[in-house]
Every structure is written in structure tokens, then in C-alpha cells.
Amino acid sequence: MQPRALIVDDEAPAREELRFLIEGLGDLDGAGPVQVVGEATNGEEALLLLTSLDYDLVFLDIRMPGLTGLDVARELRDQARRPQIIFTTAYPDHAVDAFDLAATDYLVKPFDAERFRRAVERALGFGPDRPAAEAAADQAQDQTSGQDAGARPGQLTREAPPQTPRQAEPQLVRIPVQKDGRTVLVQGGSIVYAAASRGYSSLKLADERVLVSFSLNELERRLQGHFCRVHRSYLVNLRYVRELVPDFRGTLVLVMNDRQRSRVEVSRRHSRELRRRLGLRD
């Protein structure tokens, strides 16, 4: 069956532009073209349409009269047959809230047709960004990439291979980062460690450090699996731990396996749990 889409935007030109982009997608991976079967000018209309028909995709504006796009997403969050949500907005400052509500993507206007296509393919489980491809990449990269392995509820996916112990582990999520007016999704497995900063947290990646608006406690809840809290100010990816070095105070310092051989302090309070996670004796 063709994927069915709902467009929600209070501005007619924006709805027309989305319809034009959708028509330009053509046949997606044999599933047929995306079919626009509804348009809404505000959140209330959107919820009425969403309760009357099952949609696969919702293209959702943020700021509208009455209910906002985020309000609509909250209403949909606990639905059993939940459509994939792609936010289309001129405001980049709501990205964190959008991904907290399990949005598939967040497009900041103006965006081009190629960026739009990638978002739709990801939402429908097609193309190189589909979760099945990410799971295969996980296995091929010796369990170091941190790609997401699970499909979102309601996605159109091909039959998945039998679940392996690797796939059954807690999933590493993507963390939205604002860069040059764009929302970039950082894979959890690419984070070497996270550090508390004033009002923010910083993520140490292979070649750069980026700021995010999540607290370290929020990141700890999101980045489970191979992440471990080693200090009130640090959360580390255990896959990147290279060495444990005692310092002059009798506490531990972690040497990370990144280019800079970053060093992360371990507090006495967290050292026992760290050793347990690493399979070391006290």
C-alpha cells in the first residue's frame, strides 16, 4: 500500500511547497509514491484527521495558531499506530524538544529536495539511512559504530533478520546538535565522553567538541548501554577507554582512545562501578 501523508501548516504556500516536494519523490523503493491524503491548517484539525485515518507520515509545522506542532506530537506519542513525524519549520530552536518526542527528522526551512528525500526515506525505512542498514553496519564494524538497530513503531520496513544478542542490547540514540543553523544528529557510539558545562553539556567527538542543551543526567538516561558515569561531571563511552592510570591522589584517570588521548577523572564514588563494568577486580 502506498505511504499516506498528512501535511500540517498554517500557511498555504508552505503546504503547496511540501506537496510539490512529495510529488517529486516518485516511486520510493517499490512502495509507490507517497500519497497526500490530508491537509490541516492548525493542530486541532490535524488531530481530528489523525483520529479518522491511519497515516504513515506527518509533515508538521511548529508554530501555528492554537495547538503547536509539539502539542500535536505529544498527543500522538502514546498511540499504538503512531505515524512518523517530520517537523518542517523556520525555527531551529525547538529541535531538542522535537527529538524528545521521537520525531524522525527536523527540517529547517529553507531545505532542498535532496534533504527532504533523505528525511522521507529515513522515516519510511528505505535507503541507506534505514535502520536495517544501520544494524548491518554495526555488525560489520566490530560493534563500534553506535548506529541505531531498531525500527520505529509504524515504519514501513522489509522483513527483519532474526534478532541477535547484539541487536537486543540497549540502543544508542542520536543526539541532536545545532551547527551553523542546521540540526545534526550525532550517533551515540561516536561520542568519546560527555562533560558537564555551565547550563549545557559538551560532547567530545573524534575531531571536535560540541555543545548540547541536555544536562549530563539527561544524557546519562539517553546514552545507556556502553556509557558509564565516572564523575559528577563526566559520562564516558566504555568502548573508548584505553587505560586506567592512578594519579597522585590515589584516584583513577581514564586515558581515552581518541586522537588526543583525552584524560577523564574518575571520582572515588564511581570507581567501583566503573571497575565492575570493565570486569576488573577492586
Find the length of the chain. 282
Question: Do the strands 200-204 and 193-197 form a parallel or antiparallel pair, or are they unpaired?
Answer: antiparallel
Angle, nearest 10°, between helix axes 113-124 and 12-23? Answer: 70
**pLDDT tens readout for residues 7-58:** 999 999 999 999 999 998 888 766 678 999 999 999 999 999 998 888 999 9
3-state secondary structure at position 35: strand
Q: What is the pLDDT of residue 57?
A: 94
Q: What is the pLDDT of residue 198?
A: 64
Q: Which of 146, 145, 149 is nearest to 167 (CA)?
A: 149
Most confident segment among 2-11, 124-133, 205-214, 240-249: 2-11
How many helical (H) and strand (E) elements, i.e. helices and strands, does the chain have? 9, 15
**DSSP 8-state code for residue 155:** -
| Dihedral over Cα of 229, 233, 235, 236: its sign | negative
3-state secondary structure at position 62: coil
Q: What is the pTM of this model?
A: 0.49
CA-based max dimension of the chain: 67
Q: Quick one: average pLDDT of 206-235?
A: 88
Q: What is the pLDDT of residue 51?
A: 87
- 123 with 155: CB under 8 angstroms? yes
Flag whether pLDDT at 243 surpasses 80. yes
- H-only helix segments in the chain: 12-23, 43-52, 69-76, 95-100, 113-124, 131-140, 165-168, 216-222, 268-278
Determine the Cα angle at 175 with ends 171 and 179, to 5°.
155
**pLDDT tens readout for residues 71-114:** 999 998 877 788 999 999 988 888 888 888 888 888 988 888 88
Q: How far apart are CA 176 and CA 183, in angstroms?
A: 6
The domains of the chain, with CATH numbers, are: 4-124 (3.40.50.2300), 142-149+168-278 (2.40.50.1020)
Flag whether pLDDT at 268 surpasses 60. yes
Q: Quick one: average pLDDT of 249-275?
A: 89
**pLDDT tens readout for residues 123-182:** 888 654 433 333 333 333 333 333 333 334 334 433 444 444 434 334 447 888 877 777
Q: How far apart are CA 61 and CA 83, in angstroms?
A: 15
Residue 237 binned pLDDT confidence (cut-offs 50, 70, 90): very high
